[in-house]
Chain A
Amino acid sequence: MNQDFDYGVIDVILEKCGCDEQMAVTILQEVQAHFGYLPKEVFPYLAKKLRSSEAKLYGVATFYENFSLEPKGQYVIRVCDGTACHVRHSTDVLNRIRKELELKDDKITTEDSKFTVEIVSCLGACGLSPVMTVNGKVYPSMTPDKASEIINSIKEGTYNAEA
């Protein structure tokens, strides 16, 4: 067990969700909500508490696209690539963002941990396509240029999440 890791947080989550293997997905979601990702340390601890196995929980965590095993950047950008967004050129938006941030398919977080860029299959806002979100805030009818603008404003510190 890692001495520096705060297992108390996990205990609180377990208290809330119940120490049951069947609740594994919910528990992992709560853990991710707290840390922003699933730290390696939680797997052996949860396996013991839930009487499950580390490998099984790892399997669950890697099965769902939504779980992340790596810390995410300060700004999580989700670009929708569902059918509606895709036919309205969401790929161009994604490619522009990746180019500006020097990211790829298998490298989704920038070196300075400022940005994480993810593709999602549908955000449920097809009428506004193509859509992207920054830390949950929805940006409709995106174009590559609009995306660049948002990224630059974040880089320059002028980004306003409330606007």
Chain B
Amino acid sequence: MEKQFMIIDGNRVELNGEKTVLEVIRKAGIDMPTLCYHPDLSIYGACRLCMFENERGGLDAACSAQPRDGMVIRTNTARLRKYRKNIIELLLANHCVECPTCPKSGSCKLQELAERYDVKTVRFPNTAKLDKVDHSSLSIDRDASKCVLCGKCVRMCNEVQNVGAINYANRGSKMYISTMFDVPISETDCVGCGQCAAVCPVGAITIKQDTAKVWDAIADKGTNVTVQVAPAVRVAIGEQLHMEEGTDVMGKIVAALHQMGVDKVYDTSVSADMTILEETAEFVEHLGKGTGMPLFTSCCPGWIRFAETKYPEIMPYISSCRSPMHMLAEVILEHEKDNGMKNYNIAVMPCTAKKFEAARDEFKHGDQPNVDCVLSTQELIHMIRTSGIDFEHIAPEAVDAPFGQFSGAGVIFGVTGGVTEAVLRRVSTDKSNNAIKDISYCGVRGLEGVKEFQVPFGDGELRIAVVSGLGNAGKLIDKLLAKEVSYDFVEVMACPGGCVNGGGQPVSCDNARTIRIDGLYASDSTNSLKTSDTNPLMDYIYSEFVKGRNHEMLHVHYGKHND
């Protein structure tokens, strides 16, 4: 077939099957402004910032126009700049412009666009309504006065996650994003995955900030502050701190936390190994029962909440294993119980739903939660900035003993398919390096939302599905319940791509997911321990701290509702 071209701002650009003019424009290296466009979501065409001008002077939105061979367009004419500036002015006129104190300041798209298009004054009176703020969720905050109605949160919540906690209400100038009857978001089916906050271009949906509590704990001399850091955090933090995206900077995170005044820093990858030992044992037992249903993974709190609200009938088939965060928290508490100090247990997670999980009644000793505070990756970055630490040049330090040694199987928990791969390594009878490498080619890796494959096991085979994104999970469960498919093991992660793309992670370049995933796989490759059962720390933890209380410390029965 003959090559097809478009002319963009006088330059010839080849068409390569792009679905929208916007994709072609961006491919040509032009940073076309958008507020409502997101590659993972349906086209909405509301913000009108990505308008281009055709040869006849007609205007069209690039996000919703199809590219054609021979199209000649301009993206930066005087008329377009004037229109864009006007749109930004109108948005600002209906926006709570308290930028310096906004949690989104510095990463706000509207702030950036106002600067880019030289909006120095707003000609219209400000009509922002300041009374619609919702702090009810433990994971996210909503402030309607900062909403630009781009609808990304609605599309994320409905199209990708299929949770449907929020939607548009009213219409025209009265439209706003709402829950049913404006109830607080905590009273809806919201699972706290934070994907709405991740796609929100402004400060209308932001991650709940808990850093103040942590600073207080650090400042208190009588408090022993422990921090555990999840696998996905170490490959997502660098880009925001002048380093390369995807590099494993765990050593620097440890050093930074020590410098801030944290007493002990541990690695959640350790308890990921514990999770594998517990979950594999449970899986083998589950296979023997012949329930006709798969065993679902239980590491992801967004998924647990989704199952509880939408598919309560499958709760009995979800692994009883606590998430790695809670397993490690139990063991840390056991380790620190006789130190004579007040203990403050912090978890740094790529996740906003973990904030809710930490507060669940199931994980409390009396009134005391196991994990006192969950910080998202974004909040950790913020704390490092507050501390004035030169992250780029800080010398890496080792994770504190005794919870520092982990296997490669533990660290890949942060990737969709990671838990499954770790389980497969554990059940594999051949533990040679080649056999372990072969497992990575069975279909478990990759960014697809649903991965289905079989692996040989004993005399037969295991039927496995790996799902990321709750919308995909819902569809899979529907098929399972309709008996159209059947599996032995199903891994579910609420966020598309797994924890590397969690709601608590900083928003970075478009291919951040791939880069972060590669980073975690690289950490696995350079780890001499490949399977969880070869981690020598496991024996120590089980004999010193767990002492046969596996069920009490490492498992959970969901059902004691907070509400």
- Among B149-203, those with CB < 8 Å from A are 158, 163-171, 178-181, 188-189
Given A54-B164, A55-B164, A58-B179, 5 other A-B residues pairs in contact with their CB atoms under 8 A: A43-B180, A54-B189, A55-B180, A62-B169, A63-B168
**Are A53 and B189 CB-contacts (below 8 A) given A58-B169, A62-B169, A63-B170?**
yes
A residues contacting the other copy or chain, number (CB 8 A): 15
Q: Indicate if the CB atoms of A59 and B181 lie closer than 8 Å.
A: no
Interface assignment of A52: CB less than 8 Å from any CB of chain B:
yes
Q: Is the CB of B181 within 8 A of A40?
A: yes
Which residues of chain A are within 8 angstroms of B166 by Cβ–Cβ distance?
55
In the complex, A161→B431 CA distance in Å? 88
Task: Assess A43 versus B165: contact at CB under 8 Å? Given A55-B188, A56-B158, A62-B170.
Answer: no
A44, A47, A56, A57 — most chain B CB neighbours (10 Å): A56
**C-beta contact mask, A34-67 vs B, less than 8 Å → 1, else 0?**
0000001001100100001111111100110000
Most buried by B among A40, A44, A59: A59
Q: What are 5 A-B interface contacts by the 8 Å CB criterion?
A: A40-B181, A43-B180, A54-B188, A55-B164, A56-B167
The 4 closest A-B pairs by CB, nearest first: A53-B164, A54-B180, A55-B167, A59-B167
- Report whether B158 and A59 are in contact in the complex, using a CB–CB cutoff of 8 Å: no
**Pair A57/B170 contact, Cβ less than 8 Å:** no
Give the CA-CA distance A31 to B171 in the complex, in Å.
Answer: 22
A63 touches B171 (CB 8 A): yes
Pair B170/A56 contact, Cβ less than 8 Å: no
Closest to A65 in B: B171
Query: How far is it, in angstroms, between the C-alpha of A69 and the C-alpha of B164 when the chains are bound?
Result: 20
B171, A57: Cβ atoms under 8 Å? no
Point out the residues of chain A lying under 8 angstroms from B188, CB to CB: 54-55
> Using Cβ atoms and an 8 Å threshold, which residues of chain B touch A44?
180
B165 touches which one: A55, A59, A63, A69 (CB < 8 A)? A55
Contacts of A69 in B (CB 8 A): 181
Docked complex Cα distance between A58 and B180 (Å): 6
Q: Of B158, B167, B171, which one neighbours A58 at CB under 8 angstroms?
A: B167
Contact across chains for A59 and B178 when beta carbons are under 8 A apart: yes
Contact in complex: A55, B178 (CB < 8 Å): yes
Q: A40-B181, A43-B180, A43-B181 are in contact. Are A56 and B164 (CB under 8 A)?
A: yes
Task: Give, as a whole number of angstroms, the nearest-CB distance from A111 to chain B.
Answer: 22
Could you tell me if B178 and A58 are in contact, using CB atoms closer than 8 angstroms? Answer: yes
What residues of chain A lie closer than 8 Å to B169, measured between beta carbons?
Answer: 55, 58-59, 62
Q: In angstroms, how far is the closest chain A Cβ from the Cβ of B122?
A: 28
Smallest Cβ-Cβ distance to A60: which chain B residue: B167
Question: CB within 8 Å of B: which of A44-102?
Answer: 44, 47, 52-59, 62-63, 69
B501 to nearest A CB, angstroms?
23
- Bound CA–CA A58/B179 (angstroms): 8
